[in-house]
Amino acid sequence: MPAQRDNQPKVDMDSIIERQRLEEPMAKHVSWRAGGPAAFYFKPSNREELIAYMQAFQSDVPIHFIGLGSNLLVRDGGIHAAFIAVQDALTGWTELGEGRMYAGAGLACTVFARQCVRKQLGPAEFFAGIPGTIGGALRMNAGAFGGETWDQVESVEVINRKGEVAVRTPNEYEVGYRHVQLQGEPVEEWFIGATFCFEQNYDTSMEKMRALVNQRKETQPLGLPSCGSVFRNPPGEHAARLIEDCGLKGFRVGGAQESEKHANFIINTGAATAADIEGLINYVKGQVDARHGIELIPEVHIIGESGVSQ
pLDDT, one tens digit per residue, over 102-160 is 999 999 999 999 999 999 999 999 999 999 999 999 999 999 989 999 999 999 999 99
Residue type, 289: D
Averaged over 275-293, what is the pLDDT? Answer: 98
* Mean pLDDT along residues 79-107: 96
Mean pLDDT (the chain) is: 93
**Residues known to be catalytic:** 178, 229, 299
pLDDT in tens, 157-183: 999 999 999 999 999 999 999 999 999
Question: Which residues partner with 64 through β-bridges?
Answer: 83
**pLDDT of 6:** 42
Residue 287 confidence (pLDDT): 98
Quick one: which of 232, 239, 242, 237 has its CA closest to 177?
Answer: 232
Domains of the chain: 13-85 (3.30.43.10), 93-207 (3.30.465.10), 224-303 (3.90.78.10)
Is 27's pLDDT higher than 60? yes
* Average pLDDT of span 197-210: 92
Whole-number pLDDT of residue 9: 61
> What's the CA gap between 37 and 22, in Å, rounded?
9
Phi, psi of 142 (to 5 degrees): -65, 155
Contact 148/231 with Cβ under 8 angstroms? Answer: no
pTM metric for this prediction: 0.90
The burial class, CB within 10 Å (0-12 / 13-18 / 19+), for 309 is middle
**CA–CA distances in Å: residue 125 to residues 11, 110, 152, 272:** 37, 9, 12, 33
Band of pLDDT at residue 49, cut at 50, 70 and 90: very high
| Tens digits of residue pLDDT in 212-260 | 888 888 888 988 999 999 999 999 999 999 999 999 999 999 999 999 9
The predicted pLDDT at position 5 comes to: 42
- The residue ranking higher by pLDDT, 205 or 295, is 295
Q: Is 9 exposed, middle or buried (0-12, 13-18, 19+ CB in 10 A)?
A: exposed
Say which range, 6-20, 79-93, 144-158, has the weakest mean pLDDT. Answer: 6-20
